[in-house]
């Protein structure tokens, strides 16, 4: 995008140092922040913004929306948009966009990275050899994926990729719950739809791929956990709020849940809040990195840039969020 007098005031938040050049090349006049901005700072530093392009940790709250008088477009560089107050933005006629598919395969791949690391004791095995200078297998008997029942919650872009890898690659029995089932997706990816109750009851492993909505907040709670198989494994790469952390901790303590593999947490901005969870030996937590791979990052930016350019050129804007 060339530098013009009429370019809107564009503010990019949470840009990694290595991506700054990319943004500058496309939007030389844009203001770029390489960190998460708290509400107060967004209000102070982005007051002139017409376009704001955050990742997921800078919350675009009602206060932010009401304090930025020129704001016309919010384009989040993420699939999820639960960090944006959609109602407040909608009231002000602000366009909200996301990047709906920048590489759903990378998140699906991370699900299996977590499962294999945990169930095959990769981290402990490596530690035994590297730190302890020992080389024996006792105590590290793994759990195979083949033949296990995998229950998927949400069969959108990520969930269906997980189903494909699980059924065709690992030869697992895959079933899923989604309020909007798609028979063709099920047929193509070798899984069947069922109800939530059956997912809880039959799954050896449950993996979450639904958005965080009022209807999915704390979907994994005391009651749903009690309906699960003893020794169930839970994987969450969706949003931390889909799991009630206290119920998860109780489930781990009672051994109802044998492992939890989490890329997302309810309290990502405050790791101290999660300390009880972090301490479990049978819990693996990665710091929200499922999306973060070589090919996905380029696509996130190119899609976000395309949306901003459509806005500038007054073209039809695709990728508008329809979450209201
Ligand atoms: P998507 O919109 O393609 O699919 C979401 C699916 O969830 C849809 O099929 C929808 O019908 C279903 N759904 C809605 N409500 C449901 C409910 N109550 N129960 C079960 N299913 C329900 O989204 P996607 O691209 O597959 O991404 C899914 C989620 O993964 C995102 O919303 C985001 O929060 C998360 N995500 C995480 C990372 C990461 O790095 N960890 C990266 C990208 C996305």
129 Cα–ligand 1 center, Å: 38
How much is the average pLDDT of 310-321? 95
Q: How confident is the model at residue 1 (pLDDT cuts 50, 70, 90)?
A: very low
How much is the average pLDDT of 299-317? 96
How much is the average pLDDT of 211-225? 97
Does residue 107's CB lie within 6 angstroms of at least one atom of ligand 1?
yes
Packing angle between helix 104-119 and helix 122-130, nearest 10 degrees? 60
> What pLDDT is attached to residue 4?
54
154 Cα–ligand 1 center, Å: 6
Q: Hey, whose CA ends up nearest to atom 21 of ligand 1?
A: 154
Asked if 291 and 268 count as a contact pair (C-beta separation under 8 A), the reply is no
> What pLDDT is attached to residue 96?
98
Q: In the chain, what percentage of residues exceed pLDDT 90?
A: 93
> What pLDDT is attached to residue 271?
85
Q: β-strands 10-12, 257-262: how paired? A: unpaired
- Nearest CA to 103 among 259, 299, 267, 256? 299
> What pLDDT is attached to residue 37?
96
Does residue 285's CB lie within 6 angstroms of at least one atom of ligand 1?
no
Does residue 319's CB lie within 6 angstroms of at least one atom of ligand 1?
no
Does residue 238's CB lie within 6 angstroms of at least one atom of ligand 1?
yes
Ligand 1 test: best mutation among 55, 56, 79, 153, most atoms within 8 Å of CB?
79
Report the distance separating Cα 111 and Cα 209, nearest Å.
10
How far is C-alpha 50 from the chain's CA centre?
27
- pLDDT score of 5 more than 60: no
Q: Which amino acids are annotated catalytic?
A: 239, 268, 288
Does residue 307's CB lie within 6 angstroms of at least one atom of ligand 1?
no
* Residue listed under structure tokens 């109800």: 195
CATH architecture of the domain with residue range 10-102+294-312: 3-Layer(aba) Sandwich (3.40)
* Residue listed under structure tokens 């840009």: 15
Packing angle between helix 157-164 and helix 104-119, nearest 10 degrees? 50
pLDDT digits (tens, 9 = 90+) for 120-148: 999 999 999 999 999 999 999 999 999 99
- pLDDT score of 232 more than 70: yes
> What pLDDT is attached to residue 57?
94
Q: Hey, whose CA ends up nearest to atom 43 of ligand 1?
A: 79
72 Cα–ligand 1 center, Å: 26
How much is the average pLDDT of 290-314? 95
Ligand 1 atom at minimum distance from 289 CA: 40
pLDDT digits (tens, 9 = 90+) for 247-282: 999 999 999 999 999 999 998 888 888 889 999 999
Ligand 1 test: best mutation among 84, 113, 158, 184, most atoms within 8 Å of CB?
158
Q: How confident is the model at residue 2 (pLDDT cuts 50, 70, 90)?
A: very low
Residues facing residue 32 across a β-bridge: 12
The per-residue pLDDT of the chain, averaged, comes to 95
pLDDT digits (tens, 9 = 90+) for 136-195: 999 999 999 999 999 999 999 999 999 999 999 999 999 999 999 999 999 999 999 999
For the chain, domain boundaries: 10-102+294-312, 104-285
Phi/psi of residue 60, nearest 5 degrees: -95, 85
Ligand 1 atom at minimum distance from 215 CA: 18
> What pLDDT is attached to residue 324?
60
Q: Hey, whose CA ends up nearest to atom 36 of ligand 1?
A: 238
**DSSP-assigned letters across all residues of 209-233:** -S---TTTTT-BSHHHHHTSPTTEE
Task: Tell me the CATH number for domain 104-285.
Answer: 3.40.50.720
Query: Are 10-102+294-312 and 104-285 in the same CATH fold?
Result: yes
7 Cα–ligand 1 center, Å: 34
pLDDT digits (tens, 9 = 90+) for 64-91: 999 999 999 999 999 999 999 999 999 9
Report the distance separating Cα 156 and Cα 163, nearest Å.
10
Report the distance separating Cα 52 and Cα 32, nearest Å.
10
């Amino acid at each position: 995008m060339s530098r013009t007098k009429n370019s809107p005031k564009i503010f990019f938040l949470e840009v990694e140092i290595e991506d700054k050049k990319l943004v500058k090349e496309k939007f030389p006049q844009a203001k770029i922040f390489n960190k998460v901005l708290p509400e107060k700072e967004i209000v102070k530093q982005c007051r002139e913004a017409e376009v704001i392009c955050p990742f997921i940790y800078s919350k675009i709250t009602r206060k932010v929306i009401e304090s930025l008088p020129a704001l016309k477009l919010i384009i989040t560089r993420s699939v999820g948009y639960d960090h944006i107050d959609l109602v407040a933005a909608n009231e002000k006629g602000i366009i909200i966009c996301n990047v709906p598919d920048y590489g759903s395969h990378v998140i699906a791949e991370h699900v299996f990275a977590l499962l294999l690391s945990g169930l095959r004791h990769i981290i402990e095995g490596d530690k035994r050899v590297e730190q302890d200078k020992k080389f024996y297998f006792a105590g590290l008997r793994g759990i195979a994926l083949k033949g296990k029942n995998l229950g998927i919650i949400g069969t959108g872009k990520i969930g269906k990729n997980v189903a494909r890898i699980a059924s065709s690659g690992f030869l697992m029995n895959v079933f899923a719950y989604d309020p909007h089932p798609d028979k063709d997706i099920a047929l193509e990816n070798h899984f069947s739809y069922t109800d939530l109750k059956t997912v809880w009851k039959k799954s050896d492993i449950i993996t979450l791929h639904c958005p965080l909505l009022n209807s999915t907040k704390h979907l994994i709670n005391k009651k749903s956990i009690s309906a699960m198989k003893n020794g169930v494994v839970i994987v969450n790469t969706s949003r931390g709020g889909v799991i009630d952390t206290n119920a998860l901790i109780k489930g781990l303590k009672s051994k109802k849940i044998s492992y939890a593999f989490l890329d997302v947490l309810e309290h990502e901005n405050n790791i101290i809040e999660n300390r009880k969870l972090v301490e479990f030996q049978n819990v693996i937590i990665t710091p929200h990195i499922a999306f973060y791979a070589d090919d996905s990052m380029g696509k996130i930016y190119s899609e976000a840039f395309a949306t901003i350019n459509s806005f500038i050129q007054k073209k039809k804007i695709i990728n508008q969020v329809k979450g209201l």
